[in-house]
Protein backbone atom coordinates (compact mmCIF):
# COMPACT_ATOMS: atom_id res chain seq x y z
CA UNK A 1 0.00 0.00 0.00
CA UNK A 2 1.43 3.34 -0.97
CA UNK A 3 0.31 6.29 1.12
CA UNK A 4 -0.07 9.56 -0.81
CA UNK A 5 2.79 11.90 -0.05
CA UNK A 6 5.08 9.12 1.18
CA UNK A 7 7.77 8.79 -1.42
CA UNK A 8 11.48 8.84 -0.81
CA UNK A 9 12.31 11.94 1.25
CA UNK A 10 15.55 12.49 -0.67
CA UNK A 11 13.74 14.97 -2.90
CA UNK A 12 13.96 18.63 -2.02
CA UNK A 13 10.17 19.06 -1.99
CA UNK A 14 9.51 16.68 0.92
CA UNK A 15 8.65 18.37 4.20
CA UNK A 16 9.88 16.21 7.12
CA UNK A 17 7.02 17.34 9.36
CA UNK A 18 4.45 16.37 6.72
CA UNK A 19 6.20 13.03 6.19
CA UNK A 20 6.12 12.40 9.95
CA UNK A 21 2.40 13.22 10.06
CA UNK A 22 1.75 10.83 7.16
CA UNK A 23 3.70 8.04 8.90
CA UNK A 24 1.71 8.58 12.09
CA UNK A 25 -1.53 8.37 10.09
CA UNK A 26 -0.41 5.20 8.30
CA UNK A 27 0.72 3.51 11.54
CA UNK A 28 -1.59 4.97 14.24
CA UNK A 29 -0.87 2.16 16.72
CA UNK A 30 2.90 2.85 16.71
CA UNK A 31 4.55 5.84 18.36
CA UNK A 32 6.77 7.66 15.86
CA UNK A 33 9.13 10.50 16.74
CA UNK A 34 11.81 12.30 14.75
CA UNK A 35 14.60 14.79 15.31
CA UNK A 36 15.00 16.42 11.91
CA UNK A 37 18.25 18.16 12.82
CA UNK A 38 20.21 14.99 13.69
CA UNK A 39 18.51 13.10 11.71
CA UNK A 40 17.00 10.35 13.85
CA UNK A 41 13.64 8.71 13.28
CA UNK A 42 12.24 6.21 15.80
CA UNK A 43 9.22 3.97 16.09
CA UNK A 44 8.08 2.39 19.37
CA UNK A 45 5.28 0.06 20.36
CA UNK A 46 5.25 -1.19 23.94
CA UNK A 47 8.30 -3.18 25.01
CA UNK A 48 8.50 -5.33 21.90
CA UNK A 49 9.14 -2.88 19.06
CA UNK A 50 11.87 -0.26 18.76
CA UNK A 51 13.20 0.85 15.39
CA UNK A 52 15.75 3.58 14.78
CA UNK A 53 16.40 4.87 11.27
CA UNK A 54 18.32 7.64 9.53
CA UNK A 55 15.27 8.99 7.69
CA UNK A 56 11.53 8.57 7.40
CA UNK A 57 11.72 6.50 4.23
CA UNK A 58 13.94 3.86 5.86
CA UNK A 59 11.70 3.83 8.93
CA UNK A 60 8.61 3.30 6.77
CA UNK A 61 10.28 0.47 4.84
CA UNK A 62 11.16 -1.30 8.10
CA UNK A 63 7.66 -0.84 9.48
CA UNK A 64 6.15 -2.20 6.29
CA UNK A 65 8.42 -5.24 6.50
CA UNK A 66 7.43 -5.88 10.11
CA UNK A 67 3.71 -5.40 9.53
CA UNK A 68 3.85 -7.27 6.19
CA UNK A 69 1.86 -4.64 4.29
Instruction: Work out whether strand 40-45 and strand 49-53 pair parallel, antiparallel, or are unpaired.
Output: antiparallel
pLDDT of 15 higher than 80: yes
What's the whole-model pTM score? 0.79
User: What's the pLDDT band for 14 if we cut at 50, 70, 90?
Assistant: confident
Q: How many CB atoms lie within 10 A of CB 50?
A: 11
What pLDDT is recorded for position 18? 96
**37, part of any domain:** yes
pLDDT of 63 higher than 50: yes
Task: Provide the domain count of the chain.
Answer: 1
Separation of alpha carbons 50 and 41, rounded Å: 11
**4, part of any domain:** no
DSSP string, 17-50: HHHHHHHHHHSTTSEEEEETTTTEEEEEETTTEE
What pLDDT is recorded for position 6? 57
**45, part of any domain:** yes
Residue 41 belongs to domain spanning: 16-67
Amino acid sequence: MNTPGLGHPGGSSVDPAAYLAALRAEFPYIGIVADFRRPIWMAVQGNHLFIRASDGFVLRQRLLELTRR
